Amino acid sequence: MSTNIHPTAIVDPAAQLGADVTIGPYAIVEADTIIGDGSLLEAHAVVKRFVTLGPRCHLHTSAVIGDLPQDLSFTGEPSYVVVGADTTFREFVTVHRGTVPGTTTSIGSHVFMMACSHAAHNTQLGDYVIVANAALLAGYVTVGEHAFIGGGTPIHQHSRVGRYAMVAGGSAFSKDIPPYCITAAVPPNHIAGLNLVGLRRNGFTPEQRKQIRAAFGILYLEHLNSTDARATLAAQTDNPYALEFAEFMAGSTRGLCPPLHLETASDA
């Protein structure tokens, strides 16, 4: 099928549109953009300069992708937003370009950003991430694949969320959230346990979940300091999830969220 552009839309001639792209009323596509095959921009959606959208992306009403970073040090040089395939931005979502010249804000494939959520400059979202309504990701936040960010939750700049983590809504986080964990809403910056329901739903086997529980126990239940916990995890060479926890710790600059309760993780 051919590209369908509403007569009230404004599309710069320098924009590269793939096949079967639909651009709705009053939408704007600036120059130096690439819109992937089969993408849909609804009414008033805006794609700013230096944005690449993968195939079959869907921008709902008034989503704005690629605006300038909200950073006073930004000097105006080209920087980028790259979005994978099959990603959805609901109403009034905002995603900003990288702030350092030549850098990129990266949004993976099959990501779902719900209404009024925000991804600031240089955020990195893995595949299948879900960001619920009004969640706010500050600059340089990294979120691993299949993680879930609850509604109304701000994540502090340079913080990291590990893959398959589930972050409570209505809270705030300024420390790193390890993979596979679930957080408490109150108090903020605390781990409540493992995201075992999410792991089962995503096909992790009982043996894999057992290994994850063992790694979680070393990190949070054995009362080790961070140095000893990391060394103990790194020594579990037969447990890939323990090694993943150790690697995550090694990359932390903000420190990890502590546990809310020192209880054995259950797989009921």
- pLDDT at position 30: 98
The CATH code of domain 1-158 reads 2.160.10.10
CA atoms within 13 A on the CB side of 227: 0
H helices, E strands: number in the chain: 4, 27
Tell me if 146 sits within 8 A of 180, measured CB to CB. Answer: no
- In this prediction, residues 28-46 reach a mean pLDDT of 98
Work out whether strand 160-161 and strand 191-194 pair parallel, antiparallel, or are unpaired.
unpaired
Spatial neighbors of 263 by CB under 8 A, at least 6 apart, are 193, 221
What are the domain boundaries of the chain? 1-158, 199-250
Q: Tell me yes or no: is domain 199-250 CATH 1.20.1180.
A: yes
Q: Write the pLDDT tens digit of every residue in 154-208.
A: 999 999 999 999 999 999 999 999 999 999 999 999 999 999 999 999 999 999 9
- DSSP code of residue 240: H
User: Looking at residue 265, what is its pLDDT?
Assistant: 43
What pTM, to 2 d.p., does this model score? 0.95
- pLDDT, one tens digit per residue, over 124-161 is 999 999 999 999 999 999 999 999 999 999 999 999 99
pLDDT band at 262 (very low <50, low <70, confident <90, very high): low
pLDDT at 264 over 80: no
